[in-house]
Amino acid sequence: MDKIIGFIGCGNMAQAIMGSIIKAKLVPTENIIASDVIPSLREMVSEKHNIRTTMDNKEVVRAADYVILAIKPNVYELVLNEIKDYIKENGIILSIGAGISSSFLKKNLNEGTKYVKVMPNTPALVGEGMSAVAMTDMFSKEEFNEILSILNTFGRTEVIPEYQMDGFTAISGSSPAYVFMMIEAMADGAVLEGIPRVQAYTIAAQAVLGSAKMVLETGLHPAALKDNVCSPAGTTIDAVASLEENGFRSAIIEAIRVCADKSREMSK
Ligand SMILES: NC(=O)C1=CN([C@@H]2O[C@H](COP(=O)(O)OP(=O)(O)OC[C@H]3O[C@@H](n4cnc5c(N)ncnc54)[C@H](O)[C@@H]3O)[C@@H](O)[C@H]2O)C=CC1
Ligand SMILES: O=C(O)[C@@H]1CCC=N1
């Protein structure tokens, strides 16, 4: 597409997203501009991705058709007030901040500025992200398709009502952390069994990757897939019984609940 894409903030998420946009050749690198307050980070990102960087957030919004706000939630208000009068005509603001609601964006932007709430996750770094975009009637079909094509460069995208965003943050935005913890714990168990640590991480990660692919590609219920692994009087059912005894599933359900609660609490 022939549009300019801007980033405010050059941290983890911005780098994940810009890397995917460039890899997918969605726009040429000269159509990407990014700002950050840290000079060394700007320099690194500019060199790595061959894009224009600046210390001036206003320069980004003056130039960009799509602006991705990749800053921490606590600086949103400051940055929105800084940029709101300089946004390009028809420029669209994509907010990825956890707990930043559409009503907060509306309140801190000028009337007529278009914005949308998006929640990505870090697997975007390897093109396997899972993003949600909040339903809105603010955009033309072309604009909404362009938003989806940006998000689809780094994985899958679901369009959901905004009230589901806190739950989505818990099951997708934050969930890579829980999966990494499980991989780490599986590897610890393997080391206990005499498998070298480096191999253990590969084995555990590939088992998680393969299992996730089975859910996505077979369409079978996760419980049916689990049942297929459990041979009668075999090894797996002992592990399943142990996990149930130790509250594995309820621990995860509770983690998702407290995470969504925190996202709601952060919502302004
Ligand atoms: N890390 C994650 O897994 C996910 C993060 N998010 C959201 O993405 C946003 C960014 O998160 P990360 O990339 O992890 O944070 P980060 O801390 O890696 O990046 C934020 C960047 O913003 C820069 N910055 C701070 N103040 C600024 C200002 N006034 N103007 C321009 N740049 C400024 C910082 O120097 C930093 O490089 C957050 O709002 C977070 O809620 C959303 C989904 C997943
Ligand atoms: O922990 C956080 O606040 C962010 C939002 C989703 C993932 N990381």
Residue of the CA atom closest to atom 3 of ligand 2: 98
CATH of the domain at 11: 3.40.50.720
Could you give the number of structural domains in the chain? 2
- Looking at 162, 181, 212, the residue that finishes a domain is 162
- Looking at 140, 162, 184, the residue that finishes a domain is 162
Select from 44, 48, 72 the residue to mutate for testing ligand 1; criterion: most ligand atoms less than 8 Å from CB: 72
Helices (H), 131-195: 141-152, 165-168, 175-192
ipTM of the complex: 0.97
Domain of 216 in residue numbering reads as 173-266
DSSP tag of 65: S
Write down the pLDDT at residue 226: 98
Q: What is the mean pLDDT of residues 134-151?
A: 95
pLDDT in tens, 151-206: 999 999 999 999 999 999 999 999 999 999 999 999 999 999 999 999 999 999 99
pLDDT in tens, 32-90: 999 999 999 999 999 999 999 999 999 999 999 999 999 999 999 999 999 999 999 99
Query: Residues lining ligand 1, CB < 6 A?
Result: 8-14, 35-38, 41, 57, 70-73, 75, 79, 96-98, 119-122, 173
Ligand 2 centroid, distance to 98 Cα (angstroms)? 6
Q: Is the same domain home to 233 and 154?
A: no
Index of the ligand 2 atom closest to the CA of residue 173: 6
Write down the pLDDT at residue 268: 56
CATH of the domain at 186: 1.10.3730.10
What percentage of the chain carries pLDDT values higher than 70? 100
Ligand nearest, relative to CA of residue 131: 1
What mean pLDDT is reported for the chain? 97
Indicate the SS3 state at residue 26.
coil
What b-and-e string marks burial along 182-196, b requiring 16 or more CB atoms within 10 Å of the CB? Answer: ebeebbeebeeeeee
Nearest to 1 by CA among 155, 154, 146: 146
Ligand 1 centroid, distance to 30 Cα (angstroms)? 23
Q: Is the same domain home to 20 and 100?
A: yes
Q: Is the same domain home to 152 and 221?
A: no
DSSP tag of 121: -
- Considering the entire predicted model, what is its pTM? 0.93
pLDDT in tens, 103-130: 999 999 999 999 999 999 999 999 999 9
Max CA pair span of the chain:
68
